Structure 1
Amino acid sequence: MKAKKSVAAKISRFASGQALRVLDLFSGCGGLSLGFQRAGFDIIAALENDPHAVQSHANNFHDGITSTSPHAVPTDITEVEPAELLRALQIPGHARSSIDVIVGGPPCQAFARVGRAKLREIDEHPEAFLRDPRSNLYLRYLQFVRELQPLAILMENVPDVMNFGGHNVANEVSEVLDEIGYSCSYTLLNAAFYGVPQMRERMFLIAYRKELGASVEFPEPTHWVQLPRGYDGTRNVAMRVLVENGYRTGQRLLPIDDESENYFQEPPSAHPGLQPAVTVRDAIQDLEPILARELHRMGELRRGVRRFDEFSPYCNDVEPSEFALDMRSWPGFENEGGVFDHVIRSLPRDYQIFARMRPGDQYPEAHELAKQICEETRKKKRIRIDSPEHEELKSSIIPPYDPSKFPNKWRKLESDLPSRTLLAHLGKDTYSHIHYDDSQARTISVREAARLQSFPDGFRFLGTMNPAFRQIGNAVPPLMAYALAKRMNATLRASIRESDYGKGIRCG
């Protein structure tokens, strides 16, 4: 089938050596953008509805922000069309010729109204979803693809997207992309296998225009760690719909029904022969210690808004790991001397508990330790059991949550393993990531969270501490994005070199 003019022009332009132009939908502060930029792509546009995240993206990818910067304006994807967005961002040319690659991860709240009929209706009746506040965010993502006809697509989401109320949303999205001209496939990848100091399982979907004749390949793992049982369980739940419909490990997927095809690829295999995964210690040991109890005693750590206006130097007596050196020297985000966002929450009630917790301890263990500390204090102060003073003491030491209902609310990091998954909930509290160093007795800082997510030290988060934590937890790890972007870049170059559009043109 002859490619449409816009697609043919994009292929020829890339074959001549120009960088592919990326639109990052639901961009957040820019985890995907960072990885694609490092792999040689040009981040020319982004769409994000969170005010702090869109300002961070604009500040890091568009030479700072001003009161008139179009890139710093939060935008709701349900209230803008592709051409409108590109005009607002002052991107020249016809919308369909302006974007070569679309990346992004529609928020998981979008799953509720997904269904195959609705997804297919985009192509048949696109006007039904224009400016409809009830429309699914996945549908809007696909509408941007349909209108802009990028050469390639990357979509990211939680594993549950493969099993949401009995729907395999990833497979249904793939069917629509197939019907509108794309070869696509999806799989599950864990960031720890790609040099990120974090065990983070996500679904990734890659698609290419069929005119390219490209086959979807996912990057091979570079690191290995034995994942805890919970991660295997998450993967098994995500794949349940596939298994129930004929999928077996190592085998080709069987059709779910007469009109369906399957697009899932077995995840690339990580094995003990690879280099060890990057650990929490590797990631954050060169950052300056923060002795929370001592700072609180001195009155230098109080509750309230944390801004990023104090410089924290790197530790001179700690040899930075290869990972830490990469975070300091990421191209375009090089950083020297130290950081400005190594700030933590003030949690004076809990410092004693943090110090006594063992690596890997969670909330039930923390709750028991709190009761022990309370009893020791009661005896030391000779307070009668069940007296008003005793009740006051308990409330000042023991966290109020039922340990049977909140078993995973707290967790102390294990220094010799990658971190467990960081989530947007960091914007509310950081108990899920308590520093492994007993002497520091605290939860992680903003920069430590950024390191665990593989954000370079030169990347600046706009807003104060809580918005920054949320931006970090919501992001795709930049090193994971970089691995995917490198693989996609190589696939595109090889495909175009062999295509009719690339013959006779030096593919840069």
Structure 2
Amino acid sequence: ILKRENIEGLKDYYNFCNGISSSPYTKETLEQWTKADAEARQITLGSIDGNIELDEIIESKIETSEPWVLIGGPPCQAYSLVGRARNKGNSEYKAEDDNRHFLYKEYLRIIQQYSPSIFVMENVKGILSSKVNDKRVFDDILIDLTDPDSALNRVGKGFKYRICSLVSEQVFRAGDDPKSIDPNKFIIRAENHSIPQARHRVILVGIREDMSGTLGTLLINDHVTVEEAISELPQLRSKLSKGKDSAERWKKIVKDQLCSLAKITTDKSLSNELTNTAYEIIENGTTGNLRFPKKGYSSECRSYNSNLIREWFSDNRLQVWLNHETRGHMDSDLGRYGYAAVFAKINNRSPKGHKEFDIQGLKPEHKNWESGKFSDRFRVQLKEYPSTTITSHISKDGHYFIHYDARQCRSLTVREAARLQTFPDNYFFQGNRTQQFHQVGNAVPPYLAYQIAKVLSDFFNNIK
């Protein structure tokens, strides 16, 4: 809003980011911040009050007679593999009684009532295999999206939609048999589109049948690695969650643990690398900050292989790195993180479960540790590849998001996770660190969203 209505007012935001002022707005920009605040709503879809509020917003903000795009998607908990695994452990759970399977109909209601020119619906990959009463839910979703009037048994404008893929030429139309198409062709693999993260999501684009033209597809680009994404950020040590937190104590703990593990392991190359790492631990000993000065701290900058992505991240108006602060780790986890990162450096993969963590001092105090269910309990984000999927679980612990640089011996910061999600550096996450991680993990990668928007924009421009 500031960029559209009050470009000069951006200085207020940057003064806040750089720590010059305590508020992101002044009286000169209060109007725009009030508008922005009003745009973010917490509405319970499906409730009477929630639907009334949502309808009022759409009717006041959108000229539905003009081309417009609806973006969103139903909650994913009922479809996600993790959520379904939890449900299997509940003997009383019945999929047909779980209303979350059918919340997509709240999205469908908006389509039926307001007839957007295009809609974009996003969800987890598990939606393709989720079943209710042994029937694939995705089949019903496809059929319903093509003909909202029939799906909801309502009289409307009679519009139908064709459902298109953003990564293939596959199209599903009203009357088609869902078994005639390949659901996997609706999966977008973010790492193929300059996102430094292996995030796989189902994204459907519905185009109203009266809109002629062919939807383009996302460009396939070279993979962007974790190292390319985050190596520019200053090196940090982890905090210590117990006892006195100091650089000297941290260095001693890490050095002692890595040297101890080097003596125990029977793998000679691993032993040598653990010893070398123990004596190469970063020297500055800083743990970062919510606003971390850009000047005066070291990093190992490797430029992006895409100029566009490089420009996407950078903002010369920032004098600080935002949200680049480490979390505290237990002494025992420091050894595990360091060992895992060294193992990954040598083997180009993370150590797998109890069989490769079968060293005195590494084994966690977990009764099911050797069950095989925790093979990826300690996962290093390999520097030469895109990261694994950044999820909100990163807020709980760092075990799945270990930094590849064993000399830093830690999990990722919010800013590092945000870069893997392609948030621009000027996006300042607020709240406590748990809330910040949730905001990062629950997001769609902004650069992927930008690319999708570009495809839709080109479609509109072509039909004009």
Normalising by structure 2, report the TM-score. 0.63
Gaps of 5+ in 1: 1-36, 38-61, 113-131, 224-276, 375-393, 498-508
2:385 is the alignment partner of 1:402: no
How big is each residue's C-alpha offset from its partner over 1:258-304, in whole Å with a ceiling of 9 and x where there is no partner? xxxxxxxxxxxxxxxxxxx11110010011111126898862599xx
2:414 is the alignment partner of 1:436: no
- The answer as to whether partners of 1:334 and 1:458 remain within 8 angstroms in 2 is no
Q: 2:130 aligns with which of 164, 172, 190?
A: 164
How big is each residue's C-alpha offset from its partner over 1:367-417, in whole Å with a ceiling of 9 and x where there is no partner? 726x4337xxxxxxxxxxxxxxxxxxx8xx756651422222220121111
**Distance (Å, rounded) in 2 between the aligned partners of 1:332 and 1:144:** 37
Deviation at 1:421, TM superposition (A): 1.1
Q: Which amino acid aligns with 2:54?
A: L
**1:292 equivalent in structure 2:** 238
Distance 1:445 1:163, change over 3 A: same
2:115 is the alignment partner of 1:149: yes
Bigger mean CA offset, 336-345 vs 198-207: 336-345
**Distance (Å, rounded) in 2 between the aligned partners of 1:317 and 1:289:** 6
**1:477 equivalent in structure 2:** 445
Bigger mean CA offset, 168-177 vs 138-147: 168-177
- The answer as to whether partners of 2:74 and 2:107 remain within 8 angstroms in 1 is yes
How big is each residue's C-alpha offset from its partner over 1:78-126, in whole Å with a ceiling of 9 and x where there is no partner? 225556226458x7367745881111232223559xxxxxxxxxxxxxx
- The answer as to whether partners of 2:120 and 2:203 remain within 8 angstroms in 1 is yes
**Distance (Å, rounded) in 2 between the aligned partners of 1:300 and 1:64:** 43
Distance 1:435 1:68, change over 3 A: closer
**1:373 equivalent in structure 2:** 361
Q: 1:351 aligns with which of 329, 334, 346?
A: 334
Aligned sequence identity (%): 27
Deviation at 1:323, TM superposition (A): 6.4
- Where 2:357 maps in the other structure, the secondary structure is helix
- The answer as to whether partners of 1:335 and 1:457 remain within 8 angstroms in 2 is no
Describe how 1:449-488 pairs up with structure 2 within 5 A: 449-488=417-456
**1:195 equivalent in structure 2:** 194
**1:236 equivalent in structure 2:** none
Distance 1:88 1:293, change over 3 A: closer
Q: 1:278 aligns with which of 219, 224, 231?
A: 224
Distance 1:98 1:329, change over 3 A: same
* Superposition RMSD in Å: 3.8
Q: 1:185 aligns with which of 147, 154, 164?
A: 164
**1:226 equivalent in structure 2:** none
- The answer as to whether partners of 1:110 and 1:138 remain within 8 angstroms in 2 is no
**Distance (Å, rounded) in 2 between the aligned partners of 1:331 and 1:289:** 18
**1:34 equivalent in structure 2:** none
Describe how 1:128-143 pairs up with structure 2 within 5 A: 136-143=102-109
- Where 2:369 maps in the other structure, the secondary structure is coil
**Distance (Å, rounded) in 2 between the aligned partners of 1:135 and 1:373:** 44
Describe how 1:71-470 pairs up with structure 2 within 5 A: 71-79=39-47, 80=49, 84-85=53-54, 87=56, 92=60, 96-97=64-65, 100-111=68-79, 136-165=102-131, 166-180=134-148, 181-186=160-165, 187-223=186-222, 277-292=223-238, 299=245, 309-313=290-294, 318-322=300-304, 329-330=311-312, 336-348=318-330, 349-357=332-340, 358-359=343-344, 360-362=349-351, 364=353, 368=357, 371-373=359-361, 402-403=369-370, 404-470=372-438
Deviation at 1:220, TM superposition (A): 2.8
**Higher RCO (Cα < 8 Å, 6 or more apart):** 1
Distance 1:331 1:420, change over 3 A: closer
Deviation at 1:326, TM superposition (A): 5.5
Deviation at 1:175, TM superposition (A): 1.7
Distance 1:188 1:110, change over 3 A: same
Deviation at 1:145, TM superposition (A): 1.4
Bigger mean CA offset, 92-101 vs 182-191: 92-101
- Where 1:189 maps in the other structure, the secondary structure is strand
Deviation at 1:366, TM superposition (A): 9.0
**Distance (Å, rounded) in 1 between the aligned partners of 2:329 and 2:318:** 30
Normalising by structure 1, report the TM-score. 0.58
- Where 1:342 maps in the other structure, the secondary structure is strand
**Distance (Å, rounded) in 1 between the aligned partners of 2:301 and 2:390:** 26
Distance 1:286 1:366, change over 3 A: farther
Q: Which amino acid aligns with 2:237?
A: L
